[in-house]
Chain A
């Protein structure tokens, strides 16, 4: 099955850019997602990228996909204290696993004023 790995912690200053990285193993992943989890809450879909894309931009969020290296990143421009949360990348593999999400461990983003 799919394995998804993330670094566990990231700390940035308010106003800087944040880059959260993720690697995955299943090259047949059709969609790759980024979810945000605020304390005590469920997961909220931030953005996703289809496997035939290299980049997707959505306001302050930029997703980069390197299929050769199976590497996904999420860049948050002008990071704010409200961006402090846990960020999960998730993959949806193909075949019989289609639509079933495999999550990384989550990256805890801390934004300092």
Chain B
């Protein structure tokens, strides 16, 4: 199993550009989530999904969209990037909500 994979590893955007961060898992996990990690603030939940076709907002959802058309994939879309979205983004998955979460290696995003 590859576990949780994220692409790209690094990305630089200009303010106003859009992009999609990819996340995939091959463990047949129902629960997937996106976090952002900022210095001194730990990880904060952006969006999550409890299964294909079901998504919900976390603590800091503004400026981000998600969809879950398959069990395996959970992309995170930045509609119009802002410097405040410069961060490291982690995707995580677990078999069910409340189970141990497995984290991907992260995507480091810089918005100029």
Q: Does A92 contact B98, Cβ atoms closer than 8 Å?
A: yes
Q: Give the contacting residue for B43; candidates A41, A88, A99; CB below 8 A.
A: A88
Contacts A/B (CB < 8 Å), 25 sampled? A8-B40, A30-B98, A40-B105, A42-B90, A42-B104, A42-B105, A42-B106, A43-B92, A48-B100, A88-B43, A99-B97, A100-B45, A100-B48, A100-B97, A101-B43, A101-B45, A101-B101, A102-B45, A102-B59, A103-B42, A104-B42, A105-B40, A105-B41, A105-B42, A106-B42
- Cβ-based interface call for B74 (8 A): no
Give 5 new A-B contacts, CB below 8 A, not counting A101-B45, A101-B101.
A30-B98, A42-B106, A45-B101, A98-B97, A105-B41
Q: In this complex, which of A31, A104, A105 has the most chain B Cβ atoms within 10 angstroms of its Cβ?
A: A105
* Cα(A84)–Cα(B99), bound, Å: 26
* Cα(A101)–Cα(B35), bound, Å: 10
- Cβ-based interface call for A44 (8 A): yes
B101 to chain A, nearest CB (A): 7
Interface size of A in residues (CB-CB distance below 8 Å): 24
Contact residues of A between 1 and 46, Cβ < 8 Å to B: 1, 4, 8, 30-31, 40-45
Q: Does A43 contact B90, Cβ atoms closer than 8 Å?
A: yes
Q: Which residues of A contact B105 (CB under 8 A)?
A: 40-42
* Cα(A100)–Cα(B33), bound, Å: 9
B interface residues with partner A (beta carbon < 8 Å): 4, 31, 33, 35, 40-45, 48, 58-59, 90, 92, 94, 96-106
Q: Which residues of A contact B40 (CB under 8 A)?
A: 8, 105
Q: Give the contacting residue for B44; candidates A31, A48, A92, A103; CB below 8 A.
A: A103
Q: Which residues of A contact B103 (CB under 8 A)?
A: 42-44
B112 to chain A, nearest CB (A): 22
Q: Does B98 contact A99, Cβ atoms closer than 8 Å?
A: yes
Q: In this complex, which of A8, A40, A90, A101 has the most chain B Cβ atoms within 10 angstroms of its Cβ?
A: A101
B56 to chain A, nearest CB (A): 9
* Cα(A88)–Cα(B45), bound, Å: 14
A103 to chain B, nearest CB (A): 4
Which residue of chain A has its CB nearest to the CB of B45? A100
